[in-house]
Chain A
Amino acid sequence: MKKIILLILEVTFFAVVANAQHISLVPTVEKTVAGNQYGSLLVFQTKRLWSIGGFYQSSVTRTSEGIQTSNPFYGVSISAPLVRSGKINLLANGRVGVVNEDFLVVVPGLETEVKISRSISVSSLMSIRMSYPSAALRIAIKI
């Protein structure tokens, strides 16, 4: 039984997938202490899984006049691999950007990326925003 479990785990997590540098579009939803934010990230990832890109996200509220966005947050996102294993990777993430046009913000985080297929991967990101934990879900689509 132990061998079977180990085999399943290793087939799932131990697979090595060849990486090449590529550009991805990453829709993102992030839950912060100030509410949910939605946006996307355009990122260039090297074959060693370092990545750099630009992002834009904002809060969305539905009012009687329609959908309004607030608290826009945009800037640069950088990820560095901590542990790599092809299908699943653990990354250190840092975002530097501007909130509401004037307020410079640095957001450190920890990200786990799971490759679903050759062109799609899903990642979860835990960060510190406004000195509280925030959680983000990202879907990266290779373009």
Chain B
Amino acid sequence: MENEYNIMNEIYFERIKHSRIMSWMLFIANLILVPMVVLMLWGCEPAVEPTREFIIRKGDHYASPTLSESLQSRKLVFEAKFNESAVYDFGSDALQSNKNKLMGFCDSNSLPHQNSARFAWQWYNNRLEIYAYCYFKGERQEQFIGVVPINEYSHYELELSNDHYIFKLNDQAPVLMKRANTNEVGTYFKLWPYFGGHIAAPHDVTIDIKTIY
């Protein structure tokens, strides 16, 4: 009888211990989550400043941080600032005219080399040139848009229309590039800075990008 009582006691003790651990976990989770939510909701300022510094390390193509984000409206708007690290010399026109990618997106459920639209850049003729850079059904298309200064933010817009991508740089006239007929509903992954072409970054390249939502 006493033995049974002890076993029952042990079982209940274990249950109470388990519940107490659960209660503390919940308390701690709430202690962290609730103030965060309240602070974010009540703050008048934006929750975060959507400016990111992308660095392409010497010898790399991809920039860090590595991000996975999809487009959520028909217009991608951002401001980007290059600095002196955008200046490079490969010693030949062919290599110097390789387009480096700034930012853009894949079209609906497509890969970058199937259907995509991006702003591209190159240091050429001692100036920073910006291009519209698209893939249309797997075929690459490029068009010069304009020149931007270094150490200053420039304004970029890339809009989806039914059959064109519309590129806008600062106050310049828009540039239209053909868009393939793809599925409308789907994932439009954003594409981030990439150096090259074939040749990797000759030194660390820094680009500040401020996304405007």
Contact = CB atoms under 8 A, between A and B. Distances in A.
A124 B70 contact: no
A85 B48 contact: no
Interface stretch (B15-23, B81-89, B166-174): B15-23
A112 B185 contact: no
B46 to A, nearest CB: 7
Interface residues of A, number: 39
Given A14-B19, A33-B46, A124-B33, A83 B41 contact: no
- Which size class do B's interface residues fall under? 35 or more
Contacts of B41: 29, 31, 135, 137
B25 to A, nearest CB: 5
Contacts of B36: 124, 126, 135
A65 interface: no
A12 to B, nearest CB: 9
Contacts of B188: 102-103
Given A33-B46, A98-B185, A105-B72, A9 B23 contact: yes
B29 A112 contact: yes
Interface in B44-96: 46-48, 50, 67-74
Contact of B37 (A89, A101, A104, A126): A126
B108 interface: yes
B11 interface: no
Most buried by B among A32, A35, A125, A135: A135
B72 A90 contact: no
Nearest to A110: B33
Interface in A103-143: 103-105, 110, 112, 114, 124-126, 130-137
Contacts of A90: 25-26, 29
A130 B34 contact: no
B68 A13 contact: no
A99 B187 CA distance: 10
A37 to B, nearest CB: 12
A132 B40 CA distance: 12
Nearest to B65: A131
Most buried by B among A29, A35, A131, A136: A131
A112 B38 CA distance: 13
A17 interface: no
B27 interface: yes
A135 B29 contact: no
A10 B213 CA distance: 44
Given A31-B41, A90-B29, A71 B23 contact: no
A33 B33 CA distance: 18
Given A99-B73, A102-B186, A124-B37, A33 B23 contact: no
Nearest to B40: A135
B184 interface: yes
Contact of A131 (B20, B38, B67, B185): B67
Nearest to B50: A33
B30 interface: yes
Interface of A: 9-10, 13-14, 29, 31-35, 71, 83-85, 88-90, 98-105, 110, 112, 114, 124-126, 130-137
